Amino acid sequence: MSVNRATKARQDKRAKDRAQYNVGHASRRALPLEIGRSPFEGLKEADAHELFVQIGKDHGKTFKKTFDELRQMLHSVNPVMLLSILSFLSCFAHSFRNPLRTLKYAVLQHHVELFQGLVLMSQLEQFEPQQPIPPQMQRFIELVGEAEQSFAIRRYADLDPAVPIEERHTARLIEMVRSHTQSVRNWGYPQQIHAMVTELFAPLEEEIEARFGVRVEHLVQMFTSITNSAEARVNVHLRLLRPAMQARTITSLVKRFQKSFPAAVPSCEELVAYFKTNKIGLQEARIIIFSFSDQLLPNRFTFSLDDFVAAYPKPLDPQVLKSVLDRWSLFFGDLSTTEPEHLFMKNPVWTRPFIKLDDKYFIPVVGLTLSFCLEMIEGVVCEDANVKSRYERRRGKFLEEKTNQLFQRAFPSAEIFQGSLWTDSNSGKIYENDLLVLIDSFLIIVEAKSGRVPSPARRGAKESLRTTIQTLLIDPSVQCKRFADHLERNPGIHCFSARDGSENSIDTSGVKKIVRLSVTFDLLGPLQASLRDLVHAGMVSPEVDLNPAIHLADLETVLVTLERNSEKLHYLARRAEFESHAKYIADEADLLALYLDRGLNLGEHEFDGTLLVLYGLSRILDPYFMRQWTGRRVGRPKRRYSKWWTKMLDRLEMQPMQGWSEIAFMLLNVSYEQQVWFEREFQKCQRLVSSKTWKMGDDDAFFCLAGAPQQPTLILGFAYKGLSRAERNNRIENGAVTVMNNQSISKAVVIGIDVEKNSAPYPYDMLSMVGR
């Protein structure tokens, strides 16, 4: 075998070009990556620290000023009207050209939650009855945006330059946790949250119904129905507004608005004359007209008991349902003793999102019935000690069952074993493993942890956070590593007793790669990804080899999104590698989006310490997983491959051979651009070998080094003709070993093409793994 020298001379130069290209421009559809840079870059450490503390002090003053002004302003307007307008702007106003969308700060769900908590600190009689006017709304939104930003940054003023760097990392980690608690909502897509909550409580339904008169499944369906009803009401409101907002003249604006909302504008002529007399332009007139329609918004978010009874899918006594709804409700004044600043991190409206107005229920943030669906249900059913006890036991069992189901569906041909009891040959102790998944030469060891992330930990309480990390991250990692070491030391057939009394017989003699994974029931937020931060913060010893920790809903998203078995294996394995090498800020969905876009292939940026800000990449997943809510027909997001690479991967899975998973893993390490480039150059070799002038010993092979230099993957293409199987295999082995020695690589995938045969419909004549 002879490597094509004509193209080999260009490889070194192209390698640098490809590395840069892969990071910023992996394809025409490539997602933009933000490279994090310190605002203190270039400053001396002492100067940077002094500036950092000063910024904290400045934001402390800003927070006090803005938060005080915000609280004082609240009493100048009707709180129900204010919350209705904010809810509308937060959830629905993005769907058409809103004249208020020039705001400096976006109105987000957690902003409305804060307003709701603040107004519930006072009695309704303490507020002025008038509707907020546009300038007031502008100021309200500016104040909550500034207060939110300053709330966290002000704590930088407490940093002590004498504190060891490890404690500074701890402070940074705690702020990340607090920020997540303050602003991030929903631990899954709507259908995931509703399905998992329903499945979780399914075995307890009879007891819950006997005790409370309702079923969790039906309450979840009721939430969905009420949410849909609120959206339908607001969509009607939007449709009525749209013609007026699209008007090109003031007269047309007023006439269209009156047609849609006749009660809001008694006289078109008077309003047009007012605009003209006061020299009000079209844009300002739109804002005023827009505010006229706001008086109708409270009705869009207000529901009667009859509405809830109709939304509940089965007949029931209205008073029974009222008892449950009242547990989720607050009156104005109920939060009078609440510390205002606590509303940022522990807002009672999260689990009691309804405001009781006489005999009706006002719901400013309908999305809370999704974001805190589980906590709301727990708040009701756990009032009964027996139900609570059964529920706590059910959490762990459900997590293991659901994790097992996900892997069963994702890998139908895999051998899957639950509850294996094994004896450590070193200590003689008996341990238990939750799940083993054997597929070809890959073995996945899973530990499922149903423990809770307590409220103090979510608010950044250091000791509570440390305990949570120990329970949900360190302990399962130690368990997985211990079992992995045992299996690696003792390859062969193992017969493990199982918890259910059966026997798990597994042959690990062919295992080449072990993937360790922790699955959690509660979402750990920023602790779930970029585990290196935990080590830097001293929360985890450097000696602990942490598993990637994936939330149950995220695991489902990963396994449902990726179609091929090889992709699922590759993602889980690369996820662990990426975690140990890269410095990044992201959640699991962002990492999945990055995998679909680039195969987690970032070249040297995976290793060089560059801070990769990946938040927001997951938006490419939303259209597919929200399709049943949006009604749009959207295809599953897929990773991009060349046609040839697609055929090779498909054939490997349709006609698997021993070791196919390892070959597929290496093929998946190659980016789309490298696939196209390799195919083009290898085709040149094939044409050369098939020519009449070619002689044995001339260039007949081409190789590709994929990935970063720190962890390269070698793919070797070999073109041949007129060789027996033995001659072919001999040339491949000798040639591959030569290339591997030159590149200091221990294994390679070799793709062989016999140029005298028509390989179609097969993408290769031989495919093998060669090692040295």
Q: With 70 as the cut, is the pLDDT of residue 96 above it?
A: no
Confidence check: pLDDT of 316 > 50: yes
Structure tokens at 32: 């933009």
Portion of the chain with pLDDT greater than 70, in percent = 91
- Higher local confidence (pLDDT), 768 or 161: 768
Listing from the earlier edge strand, what are the strands of the sheet with 747-754?
701-706, 713-720, 747-754, 766-771
Domain range summary for the chain, segments of one domain joined by +? 5-29+641-771, 45-162, 183-333+347-381, 410-630
Q: Is residue 103 over pLDDT 60?
A: no
The percent of residues in the chain predicted with pLDDT above 90, rounded, is 65
pLDDT in tens, 355-387: 999 999 999 999 999 999 999 999 999 999 999
Q: What is the largest CA-CA distance in the chain?
A: 97
pLDDT 10s digits, 412-451: 999 999 999 999 988 889 999 999 999 999 999 999 999 9
Kindly state the tokens that stand for 355.
């405001």
Indicate the pLDDT class of residue 290, thresholds 50, 70 and 90: confident
Q: Is the pLDDT of residue 702 over 50?
A: yes
Residue 20 in this model has a pLDDT that exceeds 50: no
pLDDT of residue 6: 39
Looking at residue 426, what is its pLDDT? 84
Name the more confident of 580 and 102: 580
Q: Write the pLDDT tens digit of every residue in 165-190.
A: 788 788 888 888 998 999 999 999 99
> What pLDDT was estimated at residue 523?
92
Which has the closest alpha carbon to 209: 380, 346, 331, 41?
380
Cα 246 to Cα 240, 276, 311, distances in angstroms: 11, 19, 35
Predicted local distance difference test score (pLDDT) of residue 233: 92
How far is 40 from 51, CA to CA, in rounded Å?
A: 8
- Stated length of the chain: 772
Parallel/antiparallel/unpaired status of strands 442-449 and 513-520: parallel
**Phi-psi map region of 202: left, alpha, beta (phi>0 left; psi -120 to 50 alpha):** alpha
> What are the tens digits of pLDDT across the range 126-142?
999 999 988 898 899 99
Q: What is the pLDDT of residue 170?
A: 85
How much is the pLDDT for 116? 98
CA distance 646 to 627: 27
Q: Residue 328: what are its φ and ψ, rounded to 5°? A: -100, 15
| DSSP output for 17-37 | HHHHHHHH-SSTTPPP-EEE-
pLDDT tens per residue, range 458-514: 999 999 999 999 999 999 999 999 999 999 999 999 999 998 889 999 999 999 999
Q: What pLDDT sits at residue 4?
A: 52
CA dihedral 499, 501, 503, 508 (to 10 degrees): 10
Residue 416 in 3-state DSSP? strand
Residue 101 has pLDDT above 50, yes or no: no
| Integer Rg of the chain from CA | 31
Cis-peptide into 262, omega within 30 deg: no
Query: What SS3 state is found at 445?
Result: strand
499-508 residue pLDDT tens:
888 999 999 9
CB 413 within 8 A of CB 214: no
Determine the pLDDT at residue 225. Answer: 97
Lowest mean pLDDT among 192-201, 359-368, 752-761: 752-761
- To 5 degrees, how large is the angle CA 144–CA 150–CA 154? 155
- Per-residue model confidence (pLDDT) at position 21: 31
Which pLDDT value is given to residue 97? 47
Interval 23-51: pLDDT, tens: 323 334 567 767 666 555 665 666 666 77
Separation CA 209–CA 142 (nearest Å): 46
CA distance 645 to 763: 8
Q: How far apart are CA 308 and CA 631, in angstroms?
A: 24
The two three-digit tokens of residue 49, written as one number: 């620290």
Q: Report pLDDT for 692.
A: 82
Where is pLDDT greater, at 242 or 698? 242
Q: Are strands 747-754 and 354-357 parallel, antiparallel or unpaired?
A: unpaired
Q: What is the pLDDT of residue 186?
A: 92
pTM reported for the whole predicted model: 0.91
What number of other Cβ atoms are within 10 A of residue 408's Cβ?
A: 12
Q: Which residue has the higher pLDDT, 260 or 100?
A: 260
Average pLDDT over residues 652-658: 92
Q: Is the pLDDT assigned to residue 8 strictly greater than 60?
A: no
Tell me what the pLDDT averaged over the chain comes to: 89
Per-residue pLDDT at 596 exceeds 90:
yes
